């Protein structure tokens, strides 16, 4: 079951998510699917980006859950502190 | 009554430090988020029901955009996370008929001159002030100023562009320096960019009050001491420690003056962050912002059974019952790690050593290797944040200072 889910999530990442985040110099890598939870890592412009949580929860998780309703949650395993080229950088206004 | 499927519009500037905390809070509370930023999300086209782009400088246009969106997907509440979005949040709330601060109150709190005028006219103690134009001759202005004074832009936050001047020569230098900063600041509307506030320097200790307004009543959530002296020439914020070590009577006066300030501005709902100076003449209000504490500093605060400040803010915005507004018993503090000099950050050393200091909970470095670092008054970022929790404010302060000495930033 997890293997099939993993394939479907991977297809979604390849066909929709990565082409979109590439516009901000980013990419998303599927690490695993376990117990209906998707584990991802973000890289490039997404790693350390101030908007990474929005991209993940309001974008990626939403899309994956819409397309694959069996998925309960999408979790980010990225080391954002090591991001060297984030698209949006937090700072005072 | 909103249910667990409430939908909330979160106004998130792309420069904010607060995204993770608010998104986590919404997730814990089961709130459906619609996130709006001033620049488009990479996934906006794929998730238009959850990701919106708004021009935060144009509250009217933003309100119309959200009103159209809300016809398809009703919005139960709007939350501004930073200074940049308080006015537009009020405008959208007004347009949607949601309970929130009025647009005029949000505008008054956002503009330092309007705020000073409003507070002074109702007897709230504020520094003496005057408004000057960038087009004016600074040398001529300098002749008519009492020293020491402080020059500050009307719309920037977190001490950016705020400079003390002790005499006419320093006044002219500060005026020119702020003019250059404002030419770079694209976030403020043109009229405000072309003016400066010049005000009396108030000696004394500085505190920050974090509060939540519910139906016009101010609930004090935390009072932070700022143990490092803030005497200029720049006003870099470093340490915040709560609870305050000021005598109870002094704390009561600070709370009372802040209540008066909120009332004078017409603020009635949601978080406020107030900054005050205290000396033997009493408390003076430097600022009351219609938003919560900035940076990652809210990580110092826990309420009731462990609720975060962001959870409290979202619950309040949605009209949900507030479990507890009482902060935990332990002392807590944060150091906003200052940028020592301009350059490019190449490495950060000593993070593990800093985190190993007793009472230190976390060392969060928020700038990345290779990033250009700019100190105040031009800068707009911190190197990171150190968090501590302990039995006493003194222990927390000591831990923060010790952890900071163990960190080394290589800047080329």
| H/E segment holding residue B112 | helix B112-121
Report the share of chain B in percent with pLDDT over 70: 97
Please say if the pLDDT value at position B140 is more than 80: yes
- Confidence band, pLDDT 50/70/90 cuts, at residue A82: confident
Cα of A4 to nearest chain B Cα, Å:
23
Sign of CA dihedral B47, B53, B59, B60: negative
Does residue A93 fall inside a structural domain?
A: no
Cα of A34 to nearest chain B Cα, Å:
20
d(CA A16, CA B224): 46
Instruction: Find which of A51, A75, A78 to mutate to test the B interface (most B CBs within 10 Å of its CB).
Output: A51
Per the CB < 8 A criterion, the answer to whether A58 and A66 are in contact is no
Q: What is the mean pLDDT of residues B307-329?
A: 96
Q: What is the mean pLDDT of residues B301-306?
A: 94
ipTM, 2 dp: 0.91
Per the CB < 8 A criterion, the answer to whether B359 and B390 are in contact is yes
Tell me B28's DSSP state. Answer: H
- The mean pLDDT of chain B is 95
Question: In Å, how far are A57, B10, B48 from B51, measured between CA atoms?
Answer: 10, 10, 5
Q: Do A50 and B16 touch (CB under 8 A)?
A: yes
Q: Given this model, what pLDDT does residue B2 score?
A: 44
d(CA B176, CA B178): 6
d(CA B220, CA B38): 31
Q: Do B368 and A62 touch (CB under 8 A)?
A: no
Q: Given this model, what pLDDT does residue B189 score?
A: 53
pTM: 0.94
- Confidence band, pLDDT 50/70/90 cuts, at residue B67: very high
Query: Nearest to residue B404, comparing CAs of B252, B216, B238?
Result: B238
Name chain A contacts of B45, Cβ cutoff 8 Å: 20
Q: Given this model, what pLDDT does residue B71 score?
A: 97
Q: Given this model, what pLDDT does residue B245 score?
A: 98
Does residue A91 fall inside a structural domain?
A: no
Q: Given this model, what pLDDT does residue B197 score?
A: 96
Interface contact B377, partner A, CB < 8 A:
no
Name chain A contacts of B48, Cβ cutoff 8 Å: none
Q: Given this model, what pLDDT does residue A1 score?
A: 59
Q: Given this model, what pLDDT does residue A92 score?
A: 43
**DSSP string over B42-101:** TTTTT-TTTEEE--TT-HHHHHHHHHHHHHHS---EEEE-SGGGHHHHHHHHHHHT-SS-
Prior bond to B154 cis, omega within 30? no
Interface contact B346, partner A, CB < 8 A:
no
Per the CB < 8 A criterion, the answer to whether A83 and B374 are in contact is no
For chain B, how far is it from start to end, CA to CA, in angstroms? 56
Cα of A46 to nearest chain B Cα, Å:
10
- For B22-63, write each residue's pLDDT tens digit: 999 999 999 999 999 999 999 999 999 999 999 999 999 999
Does residue A73 fall inside a structural domain?
A: yes
Q: Do B42 and A92 touch (CB under 8 A)?
A: no
Q: Given this model, what pLDDT does residue B190 score?
A: 64
- For B251-300, write each residue's pLDDT tens digit: 999 999 999 999 999 999 999 999 999 999 999 999 999 999 999 999 99
Q: Given this model, what pLDDT does residue A2 score?
A: 78
- Domain containing residue A24: CATH number: 3.30.300.130
- For B199-249, write each residue's pLDDT tens digit: 999 999 999 999 999 999 999 999 999 999 999 999 999 999 999 999 999
Interface contact B263, partner A, CB < 8 A:
no
What is the tally of structural domains in chain A? Answer: 1
Please say if the pLDDT value at position A54 is more than 80: yes
Name chain B contacts of A67, Cβ cutoff 8 Å: none
Query: Nearest to residue A43, comparing CAs of A83, A91, A5?
Result: A83
Interface contact B363, partner A, CB < 8 A:
no
Q: Given this model, what pLDDT does residue B381 score?
A: 86
- Confidence band, pLDDT 50/70/90 cuts, at residue B156: confident
Q: Of A34-43, A84-93, B58-67, B142-151, which range is least confident?
A: A84-93
Q: Given this model, what pLDDT does residue A34 score?
A: 94
How many A/B residue pairs have CB atoms within 8 Å? 120
Domains of chain B: 7-108 (3.40.50.20), 128-200 (3.30.1490.20), 334-412 (3.90.1170)
Look up the domain containing A62 and give its range. Answer: 2-81
Q: Do B381 and A85 touch (CB under 8 A)?
A: no
Give one word for B337, left, alpha or beta, with left for phi > 0 and alpha for psi -120 to 50: beta
Instruction: Find which of B42, B193, B297 to mutate to test the A interface (most A CBs within 10 Å of its CB).
Output: B42
Q: Given this model, what pLDDT does residue B4 score?
A: 52
- For B366-410, write each residue's pLDDT tens digit: 998 888 999 999 988 899 999 999 999 999 999 999 999 999 999
Q: Given this model, what pLDDT does residue B157 score?
A: 76
Give the one of B13, B51, B380 whose C-beta lies nearest to A59's C-beta: B51
Q: Do B15 and A87 touch (CB under 8 A)?
A: no
Strand partners, B147: none
* Order of all β-strands in the sheet with B77-80: B51-53, B32-37, B7-11, B77-80
Question: What burial letters (b/e) apply to B34-55, b meaning 16+ CB within 10 Å?
Answer: bbbbbeebbbbebbeebbbebe
- For B92-123, write each residue's pLDDT tens digit: 999 999 999 999 999 999 999 999 999 999 99
**Numbered residues of chain A with Cβ closer than 8 Å to any chain B Cβ:** 16-17, 20-21, 23-24, 26, 46, 48, 50-55, 57-60, 62-63, 81-93
Does residue A90 fall inside a structural domain?
A: no
Per the CB < 8 A criterion, the answer to whether B284 and B258 are in contact is no
- Where do the H-state alpha helices sit in chain A? 2-12, 18-21, 52-54, 62-67
Q: What is the mean pLDDT of residues A27-48?
A: 95
Interface contact B14, partner A, CB < 8 A:
yes
Strands B205-214 vs B217-225: parallel, antiparallel or unpaired: antiparallel
d(CA B274, CA B308): 19
* Phi and psi, residue B203, nearest 5°: -70, 155
- Confidence band, pLDDT 50/70/90 cuts, at residue B301: very high
Per the CB < 8 A criterion, the answer to whether B39 and B105 are in contact is no
């Amino acid at each position: 079951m997890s293997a099939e889910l993993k394939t479907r999530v991977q297809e979604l990442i390849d066909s929709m998510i990565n082409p979109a985040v590439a516009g901000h110099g980013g990419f998303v890598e599927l690490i695993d699917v376990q117990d209906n939870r998707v584990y991802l890592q973000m890289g490039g412009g997404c790693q350390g980006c101030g908007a990474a949580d929005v991209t993940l929860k309001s974008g990626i998780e939403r899309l994956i859950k819409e397309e694959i309703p069996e998925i309960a949650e999408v979790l980010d395993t990225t080391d954002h502190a090591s991001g060297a080229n984030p698209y949006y950088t937090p700072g005072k206004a | 009554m909103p249910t667990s499927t409430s939908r909330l519009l979160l106004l998130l500037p792309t420069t904010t430090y607060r995204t993770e905390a608010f998104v986590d809070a919404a997730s814990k509370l089961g709130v459906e988020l619609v996130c709006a930023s001033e620049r488009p999300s990479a996934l906006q086209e794929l998730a238009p029901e959850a990701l919106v782009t708004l021009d935060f400088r144009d509250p009217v246009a933003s309100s119309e955009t959200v009103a159209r969106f809300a016809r398809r997907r009703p919005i139960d509440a709007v939350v501004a996370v930073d200074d940049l979005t308080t006015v537009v949040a009020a405008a959208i709330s007004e347009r949607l008929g949601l309970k929130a601060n009025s647009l005029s109150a949000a505008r008054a709190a956002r503009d330092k001159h309007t705020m000073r005028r409003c507070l002074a006219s109702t007897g709230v103690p504020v520094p003496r002030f005057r408004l000057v134009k960038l087009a004016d001759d600074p040398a001529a202005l300098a002749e008519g100023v009492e020293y020491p004074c402080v020059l500050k832009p009307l719309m920037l936050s977190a001490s950016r562009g705020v400079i003390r001047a002790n005499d006419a020569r320093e006044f002219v230098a500060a005026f020119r320096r702020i003019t250059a900063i404002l030419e770079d600041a694209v976030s403020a509307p043109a009229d405000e960019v072309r003016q400066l506030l010049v005000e009396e320097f108030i000696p004394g200790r500085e505190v920050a009050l974090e509060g939540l307004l519910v139906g016009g009543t101010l609930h004090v959530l935390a009072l932070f001491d700022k143990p490092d002296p803030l005497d200029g020439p720049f006003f870099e914020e470093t340490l915040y420690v709560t609870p305050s070590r000021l005598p109870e009577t002094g704390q009561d006066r600070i709370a009372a003056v802040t209540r008066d300030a909120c009332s004078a501005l017409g603020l009635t709902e949601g978080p406020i962050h107030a900054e005050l100076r205290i000396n033997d003449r009493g408390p003076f209000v430097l600022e009351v912002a219609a938003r919560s504490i900035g940076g990652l500093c809210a990580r110092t605060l826990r309420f009731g059974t462990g609720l975060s400040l962001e959870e409290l803010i979202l619950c309040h915005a949605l009209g949900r019952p507030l479990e507890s507004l009482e902060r935990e018993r332990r002392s807590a503090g944060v150091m906003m790690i200052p940028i020592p000099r301009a350059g490019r950050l190449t490495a950060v050393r000593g993070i593990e050593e800093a985190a190993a200091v007793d009472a230190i909970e976390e060392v969060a470095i928020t700038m990345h290797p290779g990033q250009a670092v700019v100190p105040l008054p031009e800068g707009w970022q911190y190197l990171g944040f150190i968090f501590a929790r302990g039995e006493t404010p003194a222990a927390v302060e000591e831990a923060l200072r010790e952890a900071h000495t163990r960190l080394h930033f290589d800047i080329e």
